[in-house]
Structure 1
Amino acid sequence: MNYYYLLGLVGAYLYGAMPFGYLIALSKGVDIRKIGSGNIGTTNVYRALGVVFGAMTLLLDLSKGFIPSYLAFHYFSGLTPLQQWLLFLAPIIGHCFSVFLRFKGGKGVATSVGALLGFDIRLVLMFVAVWLVTFLPTRWVSLGSILGIWSVFIFAFAILPFFPWALLFLAFFITWRHKDNIRRLMAGSENKTFLPWEQKKAAAGNS
């Protein structure tokens, strides 16, 4: 590995470590780490601040994974597969263990989806399909994310000409990051996330 690659790897980690959800919420005077689940990702920002700020967080977190992954697989020449996959994983690790938040961070789902988009859009379509099929009847974002990321590995194993070890690692890693959610799912106490019009209807019913 040369110095330019190591610089790129560090840059990918640091970009992934940028706590966009935290900064967006802070701009509104809210410490998102003290609201709801305490997570800095899209779901908690959406619950606390609404769809606009949730969408902003989603797009920025997607970009964390997409840019390094796309450059690694489609732009930089001369990288080995190991070097490519390390660039794929670096922003995800950065998002989950941010140097700017004392090595704490989000669950890594949106950044992972961005990285998958930079590699192969078919894997993203698989994730979205499984996520929607899971989320719409249950309203559990966490369960959709876990099943979605495992479906990505299984699909990649079926269509890629090599063993997708990085995607297997990612599936285990995202599952581990959701360990508290899994406990709540098993206990039947996991928080549900409702769509904007559902939230308005619920608020109107409670008024």
Structure 2
Amino acid sequence: MSDQDSIIEEFFEEEKDGLTDKQKKIIAAAIESFSEKGFAATSTSEIAKKAGVAEGTIFRHYKTKKDLLLSIVVPMMAKFIAPFVINDLNKVLNTRYENYEDFLRAMIENRVIFFKNNLALFKILFQEIPFHPELKKLFKEHLAEKVYERFTELIHYCQAEGQIIDLPPYSVVRLTASTIFGYIIGRYLLFPEEDWEDDLEIERTIQFIMHGLSPR
């Protein structure tokens, strides 16, 4: 998978022999509806109408609305999001950057296109992970723990080189990730209609992190 690919398209291609056309329509409609309105505010009748199927058709394939949500997120997280993010992160981390700032720039630029091309799915993840223990557990197992392990190696290296202050690695990861995702969420989820100067905002994000982490 490349940054230009859609996870949903890859999923349909992977499951082409296991999904009926109606199931594909249901999943596509559910992703659109969950992304726009959230899981709790979306009814199965709305999904059925958008998919052009009878509501009973949904329940022939999925016992509950929650089963439909999990049938979308679980395989996409396990088969596509996690492997791609981890493999791509390893490529970035395996490049020995001269400083933490160069790493941040490569990381942000690398992730933005991928996020834009899969906006609806990531919106569902951001909205629903806090409210569904199954999704939280899945995210932790497939992404959070593995990403943290690799980040920790880089942080120790940068601290040994005197590039960033001596904070616990989990604090550096939290401060870095929350700032980057703050920019991404604001840019693509909360205020996409604003007149963003993306290169400038990315640079401001990087400098904000670096001013906070640089040794005094």
Could you state the TM-score of these two structures normalised by the residue count of structure 2?
A: 0.39
Could you state the TM-score of these two structures normalised by the residue count of structure 1?
A: 0.40
